[in-house]
Structure 1
């Protein structure tokens, strides 16, 4: 089997060596996750659900409209103390307990023993597979349409995936509780259930009482993983973090990439009861989170940093409202699907007959990116998302330009 994506073969000596038979078959067959930057990396980037306002750090002075990247870089680096800089030749703390305590305080868990730090949420997801699932034997449940890394990481770890789709009628994007019960009964050994709330690409919250019912369901004996990458863009009081203090079978993954605008530092974390946190800590690489990352994250999770994040979220949520209103008035744009609880909008692109069209959506997506300088993301191949593009909420000016270019193409 050829190595997917290989661009140049490399050396051919010695004649007796062949790499491919040495590679695990599931890895050789792996279809990697395709991230937004694999497709386009220039223009108005409204495709990766990044925070267009910029980093939520107390030292930064920025506006909704323009931010000089060099100023942001200089101010961000200034957050590193002289002691931090002098310590760059040393390995960082293996635990970063001060940062864990700050996160625990923000998210309402008792202390650092309830927090695990990872290189983005993706490392957290991967290590959960590694500690909970036996390769080639175990399975997990996902509820598509959902975040693609759950399945990619399962494939990397040679773990099976049972998919129970969300109820998608009318853009509801809610758990199909009846179908899940049937799946739990038929598959009593499922190790994990991934619930993305708000969902990606759905932008829709799963109600806490529904998650609670899953936790109380004796048919499911595994761990419920609630992915809350976008929770700060949703109304208050909807985070499953509160359940971590009450239930032993739930954990919540969050990130500084979205609301805090710190995607580049790659800092995700898990909120979970201490036994699971300790298992993960025993398993992780010794220095997985760097000193610069931890230092910047500690600043972001300070009182001033959280206030900056809240202001950024408020601005983006206002821009989201304006974007939805503008799209709703745009000819050729159909329904706005989902609950709109995240920093993006999922909308249908219609054909000349007024029906959602993947062909038309791909045409709009590619033309905007390649000719108009505005990059959104095609999501029509996902269950319940026919003809859809996903538009990250940007600055007010970026949203206006996106609607302007889309409207011109749909005339």
Structure 2
């Protein structure tokens, strides 16, 4: 059975890709494969006198003085009613146009992919992570594989979908946090019900990039018939380091492998490097058949007009320039944070690869020079007192595998970073506020 909505040409191209042992239709739940997608009113027509979608033809209910972003294409029929509200340049009383300001084609072009049929947009990456489990993993029967310490939503989505979780830990010795590929492959051979392997690169909370060579080994493993999902929420930081010349020129994003492999899905987001966490725009890259299945299964109009409009601005040439400037500043601030954390008695090693916009630092029970060891209790004290008594909030990750005594500190502004160092120094050196 072919996937509804995929052209014969696209199907033939996907069949020619690696690996030969993978057949998408064999792992998709039969009810999803046979699903006839809901056709939205805007799938057919986007312009004219639109009396087809039961929208409110009188316009929005935003109060006078509200601000709506400007756009080039304005529906001049959408004027305020008796001056009751602002001019609606975004046509907010209409359902979104599926073209979504061309952001899919823009993303495909930025990633050197053939076209927008390789791109899916979700309500943050979390919608994508949940959706792919619903498409592939049968409740009460199938499983996913994760490599802790890792992003917690993989397991949350599995619990919601009644899917088992198989764990193959990262190599945690000395804060390495690399994949144990041989062990992972052996585990996949022992658990044929695993339909998806979730890999986080750079990792959260580890901040460590995974080797594309390791990802290839899993994709090429003939005994594994399922999907590999590489979650790259923080990838822009490592890619900017390539442009800065402080990292080698080898590709770091698994999107490079999408051109070769049909059993790969890569997720990214505008939440981190682009600074748009509030608009909830997640991205998935894969071959057209899997992208079409996701489109067939998702809720109608999952991406709102304001989200699409703001995304289009962020992905413009000017937006990309601004994003890269901000990322370079954050990388410089991250380096400053690492250097200054090392000067505080009571802090230990910075674990992981520091390939994202945070650092994972050990909190010790005594100064490092005195043989201090990572201490969960002291890390918890520091976390709680800074948050409750000085309104500076970091993340306590000391309960995560391989993260004994660790706090995860997001890189802030210059002033925020200085304040964090100041408060940590006060508590760890004096045990009280200055």
Larger Rg: 2
Q: Following the alignment from structure 2 to structure 1, what is the Cα–Cα distance between the partners of residues 205 and 70?
A: 34
* Of 165, 186, 189, the match for 1:182: 186
Instruction: Tell me which residue corresponds to 1:314.
Output: 328
- Give the secondary-structure state (helix, strand or coil) at the position aligned to 2:199: strand
Q: Following the alignment from structure 1 to structure 2, what is the Cα–Cα distance between the partners of residues 388 and 80?
A: 46
* Of 272, 278, 282, the match for 2:292: 278
Q: Following the alignment from structure 1 to structure 2, what is the Cα–Cα distance between the partners of residues 146 and 86?
A: 39
Q: CA deviation at 1:96?
A: 2.5
Q: Following the alignment from structure 2 to structure 1, what is the Cα–Cα distance between the partners of residues 215 and 295?
A: 26
What TM-score do you get using the length of structure 2 for normalisation? Answer: 0.76
Structure 2 matches for 1:160-199, cutoff 5 A?
A: 160-199=164-203
Structure 2 matches for 1:93-108, cutoff 5 A?
A: 93-94=97-98, 96=100, 98-108=102-112
Structure 2 matches for 1:69-84, cutoff 5 A?
A: 77-80=68-71, 82-83=74-75
Instruction: Tell me which residue corresponds to 1:157.
Output: 161
Q: CA deviation at 1:77?
A: 4.8
CA contact (8 A) 1:251 1:271 kept: yes
- Give the secondary-structure state (helix, strand or coil) at the position aligned to 1:239: coil
Q: Following the alignment from structure 1 to structure 2, what is the Cα–Cα distance between the partners of residues 213 and 239?
A: 15
Say yes or no: does 1:257 pair with 2:275: no
Q: CA deviation at 1:219?
A: 2.2
The 3 A distance-change label for structure 1 pair 198 and 367 is: same
CA contact (8 A) 2:90 2:306 kept: no
The 3 A distance-change label for structure 1 pair 80 and 361 is: farther
Say yes or no: does 1:401 pair with 2:405: no
- Give the secondary-structure state (helix, strand or coil) at the position aligned to 1:136: coil
Q: Following the alignment from structure 1 to structure 2, what is the Cα–Cα distance between the partners of residues 141 and 331?
A: 39
- Once the two structures are overlaid, the 10-residue window that deviates more, 119-128 or 174-183, is 174-183
What TM-score do you get using the length of structure 1 for normalisation? Answer: 0.80
Say yes or no: does 1:381 pair with 2:395: no
* Of 375, 380, 386, the match for 1:368: 386
Q: Following the alignment from structure 1 to structure 2, what is the Cα–Cα distance between the partners of residues 394 and 79?
A: 30
Structure 2 matches for 1:28-67, cutoff 5 A?
A: none
CA contact (8 A) 1:359 1:387 kept: yes
- Once the two structures are overlaid, the 10-residue window that deviates more, 232-241 or 365-374, is 232-241
Q: CA RMSD in A?
A: 1.6
User: Number of matched residues?
Assistant: 338
- Once the two structures are overlaid, the 10-residue window that deviates more, 94-103 or 198-207, is 94-103
CA contact (8 A) 1:108 1:241 kept: no
Q: CA deviation at 1:395?
A: 1.1
Q: CA deviation at 1:94?
A: 3.6
Q: CA deviation at 1:79?
A: 4.6
Q: Following the alignment from structure 2 to structure 1, what is the Cα–Cα distance between the partners of residues 115 and 296?
A: 18
Instruction: Tell me which residue corresponds to 1:305.
Output: 319
* Superposed CA offset, 1:285-340 (max 9, x none): 11100000000001111111111111110000000000000001111000000000
Q: Following the alignment from structure 2 to structure 1, what is the Cα–Cα distance between the partners of residues 305 and 428?
A: 48
* Superposed CA offset, 1:213-252 (max 9, x none): 1111112211000000000111432000110011001110
CA contact (8 A) 2:141 2:193 kept: no
- Give the secondary-structure state (helix, strand or coil) at the position aligned to 2:89: helix
* Of 219, 225, 230, the match for 1:221: 225
Which structure would you say has the larger RCO, counting Cα contacts within 8 Å and 6 or more residues apart?
A: 1
Q: Following the alignment from structure 1 to structure 2, what is the Cα–Cα distance between the partners of residues 312 and 179?
A: 39
Instruction: Tell me which residue corresponds to 1:54.
Output: none
Instruction: Tell me which residue corresponds to 1:244.
Output: 258
Say yes or no: does 1:354 pair with 2:345: no
The 3 A distance-change label for structure 1 pair 327 and 86 is: closer
Gaps of 5+ in 2: 1-64, 76-87, 243-250, 430-434
Q: Following the alignment from structure 2 to structure 1, what is the Cα–Cα distance between the partners of residues 111 and 410?
A: 25
The 3 A distance-change label for structure 1 pair 408 and 212 is: same
Gaps of 5+ in 1: 1-73
Q: Following the alignment from structure 1 to structure 2, what is the Cα–Cα distance between the partners of residues 219 and 400?
A: 51
